[in-house]
Each structure stands twice: as C-alpha cells, then as structure tokens.
Amino acid sequence: MSNLITRTLGLIAVVGLLNPGAHIGNSQTPQARIKLDVDRTIGEVDRRLFGNFAEHLGRMIYGGVYEEGSPLSDKDGYRKDVMEAVRKLNVSILRWPGGNFASGYNWKDGIGPKDQRPVRAELAWNALESNRFGTDEFLRYCELIQAEPYICVNLGLGTIDDARHWVEYCNESRHTYWADQRRKNGREEPYKVTYWALGNEIDGPWQLGHKSADEYARFALEAAKAMRAVDRGVKLVASGSSNYGADWVGWNRTVLNTLRNTIDFIAIHTYISNRENDLERFLAWSQTIENYIDVTAGLIKQAQTGPNPRPIYIAYDEWNVWYRAFERERLEEVYNFEDALATGMIFNCFFRHANVVKMANLAQMVNVIAPIMTNKEGLFLQPTFFPIVEYGKQRGNTALDVWVSAPSYNIANRPPLRYLDVSATYNPRDRVIYLNVLNRSKDKDVSTRIENQEGEIGNHVAVWEMNHADLKATHAFGDDKKVRPVEREVMPSVKNNEFVYTFPAHSLTILRLGLK
C-alpha cells in the first residue's frame, strides 16, 4: 500500500440539468445508444479480479478478521461474523501480509507456538507487531473462506533465502528442514500456495528497502530463480510502479524487460480521491486507470517481442478510493454512496480490459479502507460492499466489446468523456448478457436505446440498481440499510431486438438480459 495518493489528472466537469428517475421505454427521444454483440469479445472475466487484500495495518488483522478471546470469535481466534460477511464477498484470491508491511516482515517470526513468537517494532506503519497471526493462520483462513492465497515476499529488507525458505515451508512435500517445521506446527500436507509477489512497491521512496528499477529487477530475477527451484509451479508477480509522480513507465519497462521470461504478472496500484468534492470529476478517474492499463499492456507487448514469449498479465493488486483517513485514523475510511459508484466504475475498467487484467485485489477487506467495519459488538457493511458482491457474479463470463454513444463532458486536455460508463459480459451457458452502466452525471438522466445484434432479447429484464438522493450518505453501526441496491424485474417494449431504458442521474445499474 502506497503512502502517496496518486493525482495525475485535472478534471473539469459539466453540470447536467435533469432530475433523477428511471423510465422504461418512455417517449423521450433517446440521448444515447448501446449496441451489444455477443460475437464481439474481449476476454474472460477472470475469477481473480474479485480478490482482496489483508495487510498488517491498523485493525485489518487484529480486531478485524482475527480477535482472540472475543465472544464473536471461534476457538482459533477468527471472527465468525466477519467470516460470514467475507464469504458473501466471495473473495477469490487474498493478498497478504502487505503492502508496505511486507518490506520489513520476517515471516519466520510468525510461525510456531504463539506465546513464543517475538513482538517486533513495525516500521512501515509505526506500530507493534505481535506476530500472533502468521503464515499458518493466514493460510487456514484462506481455506475457511475458500480463497486462493497470494503471499507477498519481502524483497525490501529481506533476502533471497527468506523468500525460498517461505516457499519451502508452504509447498514442500518432502522431509526438508522447513517442511518439517510446518509439520511440527501442525500441518502435515503442503499448502500449495501458487501465487507469490516479488515484493511490494519497491519503486516508492517510502518503502523499506527502496531500490532503483535495475537493482530491483536483478534482485527479483534471482529471488524468482530460487523460489522456482523449490517449486516450479509457482506464479510470480513483479512489483510494477506505484510512484506515478516519477518515471513509472521507465520502471515498468525495465522490470518487464529483465523479468519477461520469469514472471506471470506485473502489479500496478491506484487509489482514487474526490478531494475537490465534484462527483463528475471524481467519476472521470476511469481515464487515468485505463491509461495505466493501456500503457502497461503496451510495455508487456514490447517485452514479449522475440521467440516463444511468456504470457504476462496485469495484477491490479491494490485499488480503492482512499483520501480521507490516514495513519492517525488507522486508515478507517468511511465510505459513502458516491464511493459505491466509483467501485462500479473501476470494475467496468477491468472488464473492458479483461484480456490483460487477470487479477485485482481491493485494498482492503476489513476496517482499513474496507467494505466491512467492526467493533467489539459487531460489524456493519459500507455502501461499497454491494457493488463488489454484484459484479462478482459475473466472474467467468466473457467480457464484450460494447459500442456506446452518449452525451459527454470535458476532462481538461483529454478527449471528451461519456456520461455513461459501460461494460458488459455474457454467460453463454445461461444465454444471459449483463449490462453494467454507471451514469456519471450529477443530475442528468440519460435515456438510452439498447440494441442487441445477435440473439433475441427476452421480454423480462432483471434490474439491479444503486441510487440515492444524498451522494454523501454513509452507513454506521446499527444503521447500514439506507444505501443498498434495489432489485426488480421490468418488461420493456422490445421491438426489432431493442428497447429504451433511462439510466437515472448518479446511478449504477446492472441489467440482466436473457436471450431467447
């Protein structure tokens, strides 16, 4: 996790004029068109896009997923109420232990009898680490929530031996020293951890063990060699740049050129903000995110020139809204309705790049810039929780290349941005198209003709919608019901395989279109 909030675009919004309200097949001349074609595909919506992140930071671990002695916890210390909420998120892959924390973490402190584990000064977030939640506790938790584990090794202050020994502890089936330490700690069978990150944000001056691109790439190359010598089946994620105020393109180019025959992913991170308190400017962050994706995808293609190129994808393994709460507030961001809209916007970006973005991890899962907040008595769900759950139902679908025409507004010196931010996916087994539409306008409805090119639209359309009159509406303990999605079924007037739907101002809508 970066200590910097990246801010690279100045955005200018144009204010609309109409009142919110959805209409099916109204008489208003459509202002927008969306054309769907199940033959125009981008790629599979990878299940790993619905990952999450658990860093030793604030109350993410202790008091979040893990609270020994609490009446809400099981015998092993895992919070049962949190686990139930996390299971609803259906987290596909969980990244741990950091973040900045990883660059100063010695994993060997977190194994063995808990009462014998050392307490360490934690330098990334100026805290004390008890080490009572370590490798075995994390991997057991992943099994309980049925998430793939994703471990970030310490390539900041750590050594190559630390990295390879960690793989040995987790994955070795033979009787080696570290495999037998695992057995001594109660786990006979290997955990078989597939995904490993080669450090975190090593390009950032805020990072313990910060390195130049060349220093990092060479070090990561040797660490990868040693880790694969232990287990040839591991998938490795290089630390891409998160320091967008520096030469982030040069960093990614160096890392990809050095590691192109070794890595499976390159990681990029983005935290977005609404410091200017301008909804339309805030929801225009998609242009920045897509620029990061497009440039990095181009660098991957450049690195893959030559014989037998290794497939490399993007892992967007830290993303979220984050700008209000910092270290003194333990990063306990209170999310509102407009942040839920931004969550849909980011998933739309990932879906539109489903051919290259194959992993994403919301940062983070509980308490720390998270959709779930706890106290000693219970928890509440933030407004951002609900889009995560709903978009997650599209994992495994095929992302579609959607044609969109809609009113637009200006973003500084960039091309105009459409008010409608659109993605779509197709489930061929059920013959269902999911149309995901964010109306970025603060107060302008957009009447839209939805046209389907292949297959006949049925007469019933399922609607999932998040909308609220108060953009700043939030949840709290005992009060987390007001910013929730509404679900309904409508029967549009379908003629010539098209119908009209009006997307309300400042709304996030998912239409489920069954094909006959």
Give the tens place of pLDDT for each residue, 330-385.
999 999 999 999 999 999 999 999 999 999 999 999 999 999 999 999 999 999 99
Residue 118 belongs to some domain of the structure: no
**What is the number of structural domains in the chain?**
1
Least confident among 154-168, 178-192, 295-309, 335-349:
295-309
pLDDT tens-digit series, residues 423-479: 999 999 999 999 999 999 999 999 999 999 998 999 899 999 999 999 999 999 999
pLDDT tens-digit series, residues 208-248: 999 999 999 999 999 999 999 999 999 999 999 999 999 99
- Return the bridge partners of 51, or none: 361
- Cα dist. 228→167, 172, 224 in Å? 9, 12, 6
511 with 463: CB under 8 angstroms?
Answer: yes
pTM attached to this predicted model: 0.93
Residue 285 belongs to some domain of the structure: yes
Give the pLDDT score at 473: 98
- Return the bridge partners of 173, or none: none
CATH number of the domain that 216 lies in?
A: 3.20.20.80
Residue 78 belongs to some domain of the structure: yes
Dihedral sign for Cα atoms in the order 242, 246, 250, 251:
negative
Nearest one of 457, 278, 43 to 449, comparing CA atoms:
457
pLDDT tens-digit series, residues 286-313: 999 999 999 999 999 999 997 889 999 9
Q: Give me the amino acid identity at 35.
A: K
Output the six-digit token pair for 500: 């009209």
Residue 491 belongs to some domain of the structure: no
Residue 116 belongs to some domain of the structure: no
Residue 52 belongs to some domain of the structure: yes
> Max CA-CA distance within the chain?
74
What is the C-alpha to C-alpha distance for residues 268 and 252, in angstroms, rounded to an integer?
9
Residue 440 belongs to some domain of the structure: no
Domain coverage including residue 255:
45-96+126-395
What is the C-alpha to C-alpha distance for residues 421 and 42, in angstroms, rounded to an integer?
17
Residue 236 belongs to some domain of the structure: yes
3-class state of residue 23 by DSSP:
coil
pLDDT tens-digit series, residues 44-87: 999 999 999 999 999 999 999 999 999 999 999 999 999 999 99
**Which residues does the annotation mark as catalytic?**
201, 318
